[in-house]
Amino acid sequence: MELSEVRLRKSIPNAHSEELASVVARNFLAARNFPENIPKIMAKYCGSVHLQNQFLEEQPSHVQPMNITTSHPELSIHYFSVGQIIKSILDRYPSIINSIEGEKSLRFEDANERKFLVINNELDTVDESIFNRLRGKLRMEISIDDYSFCGNKGKKFVSGYLACSNLPLQKRVKRDQIHLFLLAKRPKIEDAMNKILEPFVLEMQELERSGISIKNDQGEEIKITPTLSKIICDNLSQNEILGLSMGFGSGSVCRECLGRREHYSKTRSHEILDSTNSELQQSAVNVRRDCILTRLNGVTITNIAPPDIFHDVFDWFVTLSDKEKHLDYSVTYKLHKLLHYAANIRRFGPMYLSSTMRYERCHQNSKRYGRVMGCWKSPAATLSERLALRQTVTSIRKITTDQWVNQSTISVYDAQNLGFELGNQDQGDFVLGKNVLRRLIIPGYRPKMWLKAIKFLIHPETRQIMVKGSIWYEVYSEDETPEKKFNLQRIRTFGETVIMNSERLSHINDFIYKWKDDHYYVNRFF
């Protein structure tokens, strides 16, 4: 009765109330096997958010945000030490150390000398200067973006996120695998981005000089040198960071080929500027200000900014609409950029590795908390403290797969017996209810199949995730070729739901579309 009263009076969502109550109940039941004073301590911590936060702040992996004031009164930066974040990543993924040591023996191979030109990651680049800059280094990719949420006055913030690109993509796409390293209220001042990124650049310069000392599997102390591999942002943010013009209308210039917008419709050249950026620096029409990131070793404004396939393709002209009878055939900057995608893939690696999609979802947690935190005197400070605690929870949780279920599918009966519980829609690896499909990883099987998820099932102890949903499969015509419309593959569902092991699903989102003929289609860009 008391729990229901609190839930209803405080307007707590049912799913949140159930999750909190199940955590408390499960741990108190387990505490019956411990000494008598343990439940009393647990009850004390359950009733005090201050004690819970204090416990997290005392953890070695906790990174306390620093409040850095600047010469401008409107700009105050809440900065997380990148060095401490890197150590936290290495503690969680010690395999990175051996991977970096192994890379040091690699040698660059010219594209013309390769028997097969296969581009799987950023070290498969055909650009020798980029290869030499990244090889044998701890590679950090960052994403800078703005977001806002409603409040008494309305606030706009700029956030910086960081991930380690030495890890496979599957281990750096989840929200808990992406780290916030700066947060600031967006100032209306000139050259704001250089001022915001200055603490990051200063620390990275120090790390490049001194390196990070760490022990390998043999107990030997080695030094690892971090480097900035790339910045993953939309076009507007990238141009602002690089010091280029932020206009894409009439008179604007493509930063890839220096072609003017007026000539986009006639341009057919796929060539892009060399990564030394000498041609771009000589073009006074495009460079408006210096980029502070070029102070880092080997960084130029043309070798750290790959295209963003999410904003260029998925969020723009790859749409299906029955309402528009006449299409606009004007060539925009995003459409023009597709000419350069082949060259950019050869330089930066597959485009899905540089998609901002995984970083866009990071804003949702900040927005969700920002709307209810009730702090408008120093919202950036409150948000940064909250997110610092979240990152600490992630870093101290050691997830082992030894006790995970290896089966691809399980029944509802097995899921209950194994202890899986219903999770919230934001507890999985992707968002539910957004027409998202995940490919089933079944090599060589025809037809290809996808899962459209409706629920997440999570084991409270092992943290393994099962996904409940419907199976979709590709449709073939009579001549045994896949039925397609434009570049979309027609699919059909079996109708029945299954519970699938999340480890058997691809880490890349596909999306389902319904066409006017009542048939369903899925994109297959990757």
pLDDT in tens, 480-520: 788 887 778 889 998 889 999 988 888 778 888 888 778 89
pTM of the predicted model over 0.75? yes
According to the model, what pLDDT value does residue 204 have? 95
According to the model, what pLDDT value does residue 321 have? 47
Q: What is the mean pLDDT of residues 325-347?
A: 77
pLDDT digit string (tens) for 233-269? Answer: 988 888 889 888 888 877 788 888 877 777 777 777 6
According to the model, what pLDDT value does residue 231 have? 94
Is pLDDT at 229 greater than 70 in this prediction? yes
According to the model, what pLDDT value does residue 320 have? 47
Q: What is the mean pLDDT of residues 369-377?
A: 72
CB within 8 A of 266, min separation 6: which ones? Answer: none
Q: What is the mean pLDDT of residues 73-94?
A: 88
For 480, the token pair is 């045994």
Task: Please report where in the chains the tokens 């629920």 appear, as a residue.
Answer: 455
Task: Please report where in the chains the tokens 């948000």 appear, as a residue.
Answer: 383
- pLDDT band at residue 322, thresholds of 50, 70 and 90? very low
- pLDDT band at residue 2, thresholds of 50, 70 and 90? confident
**Cα–Cα distance for residue pair 31/37, rounded to 1 Å:** 10
According to the model, what pLDDT value does residue 180 have? 92
CA distances from 451 to 171, 437, 474, 491, 499 (A): 20, 6, 12, 11, 10
Name the least confident of 119-133, 320-334, 401-415: 320-334
**Cα–Cα distance for residue pair 516/487, rounded to 1 Å:** 16
Q: What is the mean pLDDT of residues 158-184?
A: 88
Is pLDDT at 8 greater than 60 in this prediction? yes
CA distances from 391 to 358, 363, 387, 462 (A): 16, 14, 6, 19
Phi-psi region for residue 395, left (φ > 0), alpha (ψ -120 to 50) or beta?
A: alpha
Is pLDDT at 143 greater than 80 in this prediction? yes
**DSSP code per residue over 157-188:** EEEEEEEETTS-GGGSSSGGGSEEEEEEE---
Exposed/middle/buried for 422, CB within 10 Å: 0-12, 13-18, 19+? Answer: middle
Q: pLDDT > 90: what percent of the chain?
A: 19
Is pLDDT at 90 greater than 50 in this prediction? yes
According to the model, what pLDDT value does residue 39 have? 81
**Cα–Cα distance for residue pair 138/122, rounded to 1 Å:** 13
The mean pLDDT value of the chain amounts to 82
pLDDT digit string (tens) for 181-216? Answer: 999 888 777 788 899 999 999 999 999 999 998 887
pLDDT digit string (tens) for 13-64? Answer: 777 777 777 778 877 777 778 887 888 888 888 888 888 888 888 888 888 9
According to the model, what pLDDT value does residue 477 have? 85
According to the model, what pLDDT value does residue 279 have? 57
Q: Give the distance, in angstroms, between the CA of residue 119 and the centroid of all CA atoms in the same chain.
A: 21
- pLDDT band at residue 328, thresholds of 50, 70 and 90? low
pLDDT digit string (tens) for 410-426? Answer: 999 999 999 898 887 76
pLDDT digit string (tens) for 431-463? Answer: 787 788 888 887 666 678 899 999 999 888 888
Is pLDDT at 317 greater than 60 in this prediction? no
